[in-house]
Amino acid sequence: MAQATTRPTISKHSMKLHETYPILANFPQLTQKVHGKRLVYLDNGATTLKPNEVIDCLHHFYRDAYATVHRGAYLISEQATQSFEAVRAKVAKFINAPSPNDIIYTRGTTESINLVAQTWGRQNLKLGDEILISAMEHHSNIVPWQMVCEQTGCNYRVMPMNERGELILEDIEHLLNEKTKLIVFNHISNALGTINPVKTLVAMARKVGAKILLDGAQSIAHLPIDVQDLDVDFFAFSSHKLYGPSGVGVLYGRTELLKTMPPWQGGGDMIHHVSFKGTTYAEPPSRFEAGTPAIAEVIAMGAAIDYLKSLGMDKIAAHEHELLSYALEALPKVKGLKLIGTANHRAGAISFILENIHPHDIATIVDGEGVAIRAGHHCAQPVMEHFKVAATARASLGIYNTKADIDVLVSALNIVNDIF
């Protein structure tokens, strides 16, 4: 275990933060105090805070521009429809999808994965087929496939990982065979921070003709994304993890696959013609967007994308990498701290435990110092079982975090040790 060190001072990086790092001023929630302390928000893996651009966009739409989309022949409905569909093109450009028609609006990553499972999965998987699922998946990329296996008779196999939290590629290669129809895995692990080797796994999948679904929930706001370069068949992400509103997300799918997939839900807007003799369905993406959508949230998601693009995804990645390096140097100096997940290629989700102290106690005590971190199994119970822990504490980084935030976290963790 790491040795005890003197509690660091935080003045070096915390003096006049809003002046030295002006991005903080664009997130009004960061101006508040928690328990009388400056809020240090380190739960970005769960959800991100919202910049003024997103807040103002929502306010403007509900106050001045609200109308439903696709149904009105009047001006404000037509304008709302234009704004709504413009975001589809914006998303396509943001992830370099070939066409806006490859972009389906959903409620988030979870619904995106379920959509693929209940449309492409139920249509294409049969008794004897196999799905490969990585050992580090969020429950939302495990449970839908277990359900499909029960529905179709296909099986799933687990792609193993090592004690660093990295997939074991040699073992995965042995799992692949002519029965493998689909490989599902996350781009970045929410529980470990591991960045998975997407291109290597895609190349392995192509050798046996398997399709690939990539969970991009943890990568969309942290890395430049190019779905054509990654060569994946499906890519899912959530707005609320990229500084946009909750309740909306995206599924990207290859055009040729989307055209063959049946609808998942029935209702308005997903049809071509309805009669009691039968119904014909609209072309994608409308086929998969039944009912009145989250109009304001989609439009505000577009504002979030504009904001991230104004900062530059390469610059965001560089900033967070520098901050991660600082954190990985500082945190192991805390007495009794052990990192869970030490992959060589990783992002800013840092899970850890303190010797003989429950993660929930850690999170509660550091909250008293104004620090917001997550504690629990992070919807990744198989990961916890692999590392033989019930839960971990997790600090996850975002664009507004600074080295001063890491200093405050380290100081707070030393207080945890003092108390226990």
Q: Within the chain, which residue ranges are assigned CATH 3.90.1150.10?
A: 11-49+312-419
Give the pLDDT of residue 109.
98
SS3 39: coil
First-residue to last-residue Cα distance in the chain: 16
Residue 20 to residue 25: CA distance in whole angstroms: 11
What pLDDT does residue 22 have? 83
d(CA 401, CA 346) in angstroms, rounded, equals 17
Q: Name the H helices within 34-74.
A: 52-60
18-51 as b/e: b if 16+ CB within 10 A: eeebeebebbeebeeeeeeebbbbbbbbbbbbbb
Residue matched to tokens 């809003």: 18
pLDDT of residue 41: 98
Q: Please give the Cα distance from 155 to 130 (Å, whole number).
A: 5
Q: By the 8 A CB rule, do 343 and 194 touch?
A: yes
Block means of pLDDT (10 residues each) for the chain, 420 residues, are: 36 47 90 95 98 98 97 94 98 98 98 98 98 98 98 98 98 97 98 98 98 98 98 98 98 98 94 94 96 97 97 96 98 98 97 97 98 97 98 98 97 97
Enzyme catalytic residues: 379
So what's the pLDDT on residue 18?
Answer: 54
Residue 4, pLDDT score: 37
Query: Can you give the pLDDT at residue 165?
Result: 98
CA–CA distance, 392 with 378 (Å, rounded to integer): 8
CATH 3.40.640.10 fits 54-309, yes or no: yes
According to CATH, where is 3.40.640.10 located in the chain? Answer: 54-309
DSSP state of 121: I
The Cα–Cα gap between 25 and 18 comes to 6
Length of the chain: 420
**Which fold does the domain 11-49+312-419 belong to in CATH?**
Aspartate Aminotransferase, domain 1 (3.90.1150)
